[in-house]
Copies of this chain bind each other. A is one copy, B any other.
Amino acid sequence: MLRSLTTRDKIIELGRDFVQKLGYHAFKYQLISKELNIKNAAIHHYFPAKEDLGVAIIEKDLADFQWMVRSVGEKSAFERVNALIDVYRTYQQESKNLCVIGACISAYVEMPEKMTIASKNYQDTIYNWLVANFKQGLDNGEFHFTDTPEDLAALWLATLPGALQASKARGKGYFDQVMSQLSGSLQVAAQ
């Protein structure tokens, strides 16, 4: 999977893996350099400070999210929001119990400013996309929830990362149990 990538991109991918599995603080250059058979200094060549790699990881994750958004653009609102659930389900299956946003946002009281900004920007992007989809699904009759789209999006923004985190200590099936509750909140019309 990583084979066709440049070293720079491999560093970002591996860094993202470790950030999602360990959190920002516990992820260390050595974990990456060992895996790629390079030296720590090689990582500094591409990313002078850890913060720089952190920002690159957030931006890559955001880019992947936006790629997903485009790839489901023609589908129904229900299918679109399920695609986001699938992203988180894949994290869970790969033992990544943190999303990039959650891992970065809870890492510091005073986080490097660039990372704070990148994380918030990413989180806003997801929120706005959810609101837009919920609105559209409500308008076209796919959904029948009675809350506001904004309230529902706020709930999803908390529950998606929360389910991922909690699932680490809970049994098999827990994650899907929560996701089915989330899907239920949309009040999808029975066929």
Contacts and interface: CB of A to CB of B under 8 A. Distances in A.
Interface in A169-190: 169-170, 174, 177-178, 180-182, 184-185
A158 B166 contact: yes
A23 to B, nearest CB: 6
A147 interface: yes
The complex is assembled from copies of this chain, and their number is 2
A109 B18 CA distance: 10
A154 interface: yes
Contact of A102 (B21, B107, B116, B165): B165
Interface residues of A, number: 47
A168 interface: yes
A163 B161 CA distance: 9
A106 B169 CA distance: 9
A84 interface: no
Interface string A55-85: 0000000000000000000000000000000
Contact of A107 (B26, B105, B109): B26
Interface of A: 21-23, 25-26, 95, 97-98, 101-103, 105-109, 116, 119-120, 123, 147, 150-152, 154-155, 157-163, 165-170, 174, 177-178, 180-182, 184-185
